[in-house]
Amino acid sequence: MIKEKTGVVELKPSCRSRFGGWVKQHRWVLLFIFFILLSFIGGGVCFVLAKRFSLPFLNPLGPSTGEPLIVLSAPTVLDQLHPISGVFYTKAQKDTWGKRRPLAVMIDNHALARPYHFGLQKADLIWEAVAEGGIPRLLAVFHSQDIAKLGPVRSARVYYIDWALEFPAYYSHVGGAGTPGSPANIFAYIRQKGVLDLDQFRLGTSTYWRGGDIMIGGRTILSHINYTSTKKLWQAGERLYPGTNKLPKFKAWKFKSDIPYTERSEKQKISFNFWYLPVYAVEWRYERTTNTYLRFQGGKKHLDQTTKQQLTAKNVVLLYTPQYRAGDGTAHLLFKTTGSGDAEVFRDGKKIKATWKRNTLSDRTIFYEQGTKKEIVFNRGLTWIEVLPK
């Protein structure tokens, strides 16, 4: 529009030009609003199409008509309970361990042998008790997992055989106490109890291999570093006792899942010694985050050399039972392994006063809440039983 006034021509912008200027001035805000509206419209269209046509690329969960869901990747289903550790495995894994017998392996726990421990963390259950002179040994039960290097394997004692008979397991060792006429004579005991015996003296290098000697100042201090593997032991068991490498029937403990983090104790420490030597004093420290107990012995972290990691357990049990001399002129010991006695069970950072019971050697050792018939329920994973003289 042209307006004349006093000889001056004044131009006023049209509505269209004013609107264009406003759009130009606010273009970024308008673009943002347009993008938001487009997103809402596009999402609505995808929702309608997905429900109507069940398009998998729009609806990854598949149709909404009650038909089976579209599986994008095969899930790993852990629903097979392991009878010793209580850990869940897949059906394929059970097809493996469900067809083999547990292995009970004597492990040297001399202070000098301890830095050479391989494979202990993969055990399903471990017993620890004194052999002689306050020096403990381990009986490690392996079944659910394969271990390529296991040891050092040590000599047998009667009461470790008793615990192996709970399953009953193939019993792996390197010789043992053999005083004729002694109640600690393992060779007579093995024959008497029908133990499925995997002695290194009988099997030799086909099943065991030497790991060398431990020498100090040019003198041999420990000459019994021997290793084996679960594969070699299962092969030897089937070779010596055809048809026996299968899972026997035995009573399983009761197991539970870990309790929530907020219900766990903040810390807990378990300290004891078998006799009097500080180098064999044991300490377990509770770790709240993982709900496990970290193992120390002789004031040092106890490591598995396979992983270079500290040994851990989900449950720690202190089992109290009478200990006495074999009376054969040696330092050999015997422990009461059947009957009943006091115990303490540690799990979730808490202590439970308990009673252990075992009627015969073919039975499992079962733990009950003290003064009741209520069987204790363990956490899933490795349980470590510490046998202490009453």
> In degrees to the nearest 10, what's the CA dihedral of 154, 158, 163, 345?
-90
What sign has the CA pseudo-torsion 369, 338, 252, 261?
positive
- The confidence score (pLDDT) of residue 6 equals 46
What's the pLDDT tens digit per position in 312-362? Answer: 999 999 999 999 999 999 999 999 999 999 999 999 999 999 999 999 999
Report residue 216's pLDDT band, with 50, 70 and 90 as the boundaries: low
- The confidence score (pLDDT) of residue 232 equals 98
- The CA distances from residue 225 to 91, 104, 210, 324, in Å, are 37, 18, 6, 28
Report residue 28's pLDDT band, with 50, 70 and 90 as the boundaries: confident
What's the pLDDT tens digit per position in 170-187? Answer: 999 999 999 999 999 999
How many whole angstroms separate alpha carbon 77 and alpha carbon 85? Answer: 18
Report residue 27's pLDDT band, with 50, 70 and 90 as the boundaries: confident
Report residue 223's pLDDT band, with 50, 70 and 90 as the boundaries: low
Amino acid in position 339: G
pTM of the model: 0.81
Q: Is the pLDDT of residue 101 over 90?
A: yes
Q: Picking from 30-44, 300-314, 324-338, which range would have the lowest pLDDT averaged per residue?
A: 30-44
Q: Is the pLDDT of residue 203 over 80?
A: yes
Find the mean pLDDT for residues 85-109. Answer: 97
Q: Is the pLDDT of residue 8 over 70?
A: no
In the chain the first and final C-alpha atoms are separated, in Å, by 113
- Higher per-residue confidence, 256 vs 24: 256
Q: φ and ψ at 320, to 5 degrees?
A: -100, 130
Q: Which helix (H) or strand (E) holds 282?
A: strand 282-287
Q: Is the pLDDT of residue 305 over 80?
A: yes
Q: Which residues contact 90 (CB under 8 A, 6 or more apart)?
A: 76, 77, 78, 79, 80
Nearest to 387 by CA among 315, 316, 313, 314: 316
Domains parsed from the chain with CATH numbers = 13-66 (no CATH), 88-389 (3.50.90.10)
Q: Is the pLDDT of residue 53 over 50?
A: no
- The confidence score (pLDDT) of residue 347 equals 98
Nearest to 183 by CA among 196, 192, 172: 192
- The confidence score (pLDDT) of residue 10 equals 47
Report residue 30's pLDDT band, with 50, 70 and 90 as the boundaries: confident
Q: Is the pLDDT of residue 127 over 80?
A: yes
Find the mean pLDDT for residues 60-67. Answer: 47
